[in-house]
């Protein structure tokens, strides 16, 4: 019993690391542009399929396909930005439906190109087990977690120390004031979508290395990313990280102690409870949504 | 306007049935397209009047279908009683969604999506009642009324076309009423509308209930037409996506736009896109939705309406 619990907590934390990258990407784009990119999970899946193609066609280790995946998802993310920025009227609702449509396009495009089969990595090193005390994981799961934490720290560093990172935060908190300080919001928005695309590339490669992928996964990842940003409240990197770990653990506990069919239910219930009981999120500040 | 109405009714109730009687394939496509049309009206009512975009209308569709099917197969209720009861069941389910009305924009949209997922999982897990993922089969069809067999393709067509017309009529009535005015005012400023004494939460709740009832009713009707239900089908995201595409395509700020958009989109999708590519033809639906939002957010109906006026201005 205790071993099961430990194992569930461990697996949940590991997968939570990947969720954090996806959630951060969504939160970043939402911060600067006030747009929920409902195609974000599909971008992550796109990166995963790029890794699959590189591995199956050229025998590349998924990690080595990261640069290609990064270029593809950054370009796709920038395309999402340019389309959304064309919307003039009622941007909040229209951008929601536009990115939803882009997600449908991406999912079905992936379905057309890569078919509906379930894919997973064939690199055996990725699937080898690694043990700490009584808990196990695959090499790739542990690796993905470590990489995710490093990327999250790098992102936090970029946001708090670099000029562009500060500009992103400035535009997020007050667009007009940022403009007066000589920041071009459009440029900052592009940068935030590009960085979101890079995060998606890392997350997608990690998902492909440590699990299975199929076309419907993208939509599920979008929903998870949204749940995380709701749990985290007004975006801060540590808040998103904690919320992602919480979601990962909640899912792992549900799978271990109830049934794997209920995995998604746990996230949904967590989401609704937090929305209704703590509308500012678990780690949110003053702002209310509603 | 009156004359156009009569022509439209004659077309729907006389010309189409006479032309298509016997052509069961086209008739059943038409029935399916009108089912989507009913969902599109239900979605547009909430999206336009209530100002709330929902990504989970499949919840109402699935609940209505399951409730009606179970009432008939387990309790032996007559089909014609069970179908409205399916609508009522969807309203009861929407009571659980009332807290979501506090949310706006993406938060509301995705909260409803979460509800749709939850109901789908419940339908799968309560297998003793719902048959689980295997689903319910041999659900009784529509009965005979005055010697006319409603379960035939033509009968189903008459029922669904009447349902969609009633939905449009209700939608139009609400829109023209004082409630419609108040709801429109809420779009501009919810706070200002509240200040002048409008109970905005109450109005939004009513819109949610009416929308849920329509969705449940159509879902219940569909269950008795296809005689089969499973969670993956009844709560399929297609029942959330198609109505959005249809309503945006037809113009969700108009009364008949969503229904016309649904029939056009569904028939074109089934007869053309599906022929071109059997898998992934939703890709084109996504492209249509994206294109409409970027280039014609008011829908096609508006485009057609605007043209003559511009032409007239050019002459003057």
The pLDDT tens digits of the residues spanning A168-219 come to 888 888 888 888 888 888 888 898 899 999 999 999 999 998 888 888 888 8
Q: With an 8 Å Cβ cutoff, is A63 touching chain B?
A: no
Q: How far does the CA of residue B151 sit from the closest CA of chain A (Å)?
A: 34
pLDDT range class, residue B314, cuts 50, 70, 90:
very low
Q: Please give the torsion angle defined by the CA atoms of residues A157, A158, A160 and A166, in that order, rounded to the nearest 10 degrees.
A: 180
Which chain A residues contact residue B282 at CB under 8 A?
A: 104, 107-108
Closest CA relative to residue B179, chosen from B213, B216, B205, B214: B205
CA angle A206, A210, A214 (to 5 degrees): 85
CA angle A262, B92, A100 (to 5 degrees): 55
What is the per-residue pLDDT for A219? 87
What is the per-residue pLDDT for A22? 93
Give the H/E segment covering residue B149.
Answer: strand B148-149
pLDDT range class, residue A233, cuts 50, 70, 90:
confident
Which chain A residues contact residue B290 at CB under 8 A?
A: 83, 98, 101-102, 105
Kindly report, residue by residue over A129-177, the tens digit of the pLDDT: 777 777 878 878 888 888 888 998 999 888 888 888 888 888 888 888 8
pLDDT range class, residue A290, cuts 50, 70, 90:
very low
What is the per-residue pLDDT for B147? 66
Contact A86 B280 (CB under 8 A): no
Kindly report, residue by residue over B254-270, the tens digit of the pLDDT: 888 899 999 998 998 88
SS3 state at B148: strand
Contact A83 B290 (CB under 8 A): yes
SS3 state at A57: helix
Write the residue in B103, B248, B293 that is nearest to A289 by C-beta: B103
Q: Which residue has the tokens 């156009």?
A: B4
* pLDDT over 90, % of chain B: 28
Q: With an 8 Å Cβ cutoff, is A142 touching chain B?
A: no
Phi, psi (deg, nearest 5) at residue A75 = -65, -45
A120 against A113, higher pLDDT: A113
Q: With an 8 Å Cβ cutoff, is A60 touching chain B?
A: no
Q: What number is the average pLDDT over the span B72-77?
A: 89
Residue B191 has pLDDT above 50, yes or no: yes
What is the per-residue pLDDT for A277? 80
- Assess contact for B252 and B299: CB atoms under 8 A: yes
Q: Which residue has the tokens 């037409």?
A: B225
Write the residue in A108, A272, A279 that is nearest to B286 by C-beta: A108
* pLDDT over 70, % of chain B: 94
Is the Cα dihedral A220, A34, A173, B108 positive or negative?
A: negative
> How many beta-carbon pairs under 8 angstroms link A with B?
115
- Prediction pTM value: 0.85
Give the H/E segment covering residue A126.
Answer: helix A124-127
- Assess contact for B280 and A109: CB atoms under 8 A: yes
pLDDT range class, residue A283, cuts 50, 70, 90:
low
Lowest-confidence segment of A65-74, A110-119, A236-245, A256-265 by average pLDDT: A256-265
Q: What number is the average pLDDT over the span A58-75?
A: 89
- Assess contact for B256 and B1: CB atoms under 8 A: no
Lowest-confidence segment of A258-272, B39-53, B70-84 by average pLDDT: A258-272
CA distance A116 to A10: 31
Interface predicted TM-score (ipTM): 0.83
Residue B316 has pLDDT above 60, yes or no: no
- Assess contact for B35 and B221: CB atoms under 8 A: yes
């Amino acid at each position: 019993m205790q071993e099961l619990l430990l194992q569930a907590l461990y697996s949940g934390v590991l997968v939570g690391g990947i969720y954090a990258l996806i959630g951060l990407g969504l939160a970043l784009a939402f911060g600067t542009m006030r747009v929920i990119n409902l195609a974000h999970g599909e971008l992550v899946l796109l990166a995963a399929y790029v890794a699959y193609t590189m591995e199956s066609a050229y025998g590349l280790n998924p990690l080595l396909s990261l640069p290609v995946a990064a270029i593809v998802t950054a370009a796709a993310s920038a395309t999402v930005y340019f389309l959304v920025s064309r919307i003039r009227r009622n941007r909040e609702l229209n951008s929601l439906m536009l990115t939803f449509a882009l997600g449908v396009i991406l999912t079905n495009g992936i379905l057309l190109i890569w078919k509906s089969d379930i894919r997973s990595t064939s690199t055996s090193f990725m699937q080898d087990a690694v043990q700490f005390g009584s808990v196990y994981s695959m090499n790739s799961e542990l690796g993905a977690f470590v990489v995710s934490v490093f990327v999250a720290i790098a992102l936090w560093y970029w946001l708090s120390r670099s000029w562009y990172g500060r500009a992103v935060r400035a535009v997020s908190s007050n667009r007009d004031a940022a403009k007066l300080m000589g920041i071009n919001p459009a440029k900052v928005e592009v940068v935030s979508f590009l960085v979101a695309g890079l995060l998606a590339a890392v997350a997608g490669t990690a998902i492909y290395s440590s699990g299975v992928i199929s076309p419907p996964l993208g939509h599920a990842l979008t929903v998870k990313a949204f749940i995380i940003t709701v749990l985290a409240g007004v975006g801060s990197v540590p808040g998103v990280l904690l919320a992602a770990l919480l979601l990962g653990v909640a899912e792992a506990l549900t799978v271990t102690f109830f049934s794997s069919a209920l995995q998604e239910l746990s996230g949904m219930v967590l989401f609704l409870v937090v929305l209704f009981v703590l509308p500012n999120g678990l780690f949110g500040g003053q702002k209310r949504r509603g | 306007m009156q004359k156009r109405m009569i022509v439209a009714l004659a077309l729907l109730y006389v010309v189409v049935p006479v032309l298509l009687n016997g052509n069961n394939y086209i008739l059943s496509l038409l029935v399916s397209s009108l089912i989507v049309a009913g969902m599109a009206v239900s979605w547009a009512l909430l999206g336009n009047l209530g100002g709330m975009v929902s990504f989970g209308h499949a919840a109402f569709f699935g609940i209505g279908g399951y409730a009606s099917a179970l009432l008939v197969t387990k309790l032996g209720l007559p089909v014609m009683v069970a179908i409205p009861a399916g609508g009522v069941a969807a309203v009861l389910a929407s009571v659980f969604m009332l807290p979501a009305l506090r949310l706006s924009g993406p938060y509301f949209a995705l909260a409803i999506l979460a509800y749709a997922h939850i109901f789908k999982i419940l339908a799968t897990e309560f297998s003793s009642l719902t048959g689980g993922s295997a689903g319910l089969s041999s659900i009784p069809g529509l009965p005979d009324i005055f010697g006319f067999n409603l379960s035939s393709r033509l009968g189903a067509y008459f029922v669904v076309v009447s349902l969609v017309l009633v939905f449009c009529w209700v939608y139009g009535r609400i829109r023209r009423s004082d409630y419609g005015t108040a709801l429109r005012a809420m779009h501009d400023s919810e706070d200002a509308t509240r200040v002048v004494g409008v109970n905005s939460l109450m109005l939004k709740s009513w819109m949610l209930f009416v929308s849920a009832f329509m969705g449940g009713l159509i879902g219940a009707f569909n269950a008795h037409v296809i005689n089969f239900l499973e969670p993956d089908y009844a709560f399929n995201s297609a029942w959330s996506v198609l109505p959005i595409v249809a309503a945006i395509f037809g113009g969700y700020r108009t009364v008949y736009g969503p229904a016309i958009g649904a029939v056009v989109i569904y028939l074109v999708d089934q007869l053309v896109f599906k022929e071109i590519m059997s898998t992934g033809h939703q890709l084109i639906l996504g492209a249509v939705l994206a294109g409409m939002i970027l280039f014609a957010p008011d829908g096609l109906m508006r485009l057609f309406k605007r043209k003559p006026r511009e032409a007239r201005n050019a002459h003057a």
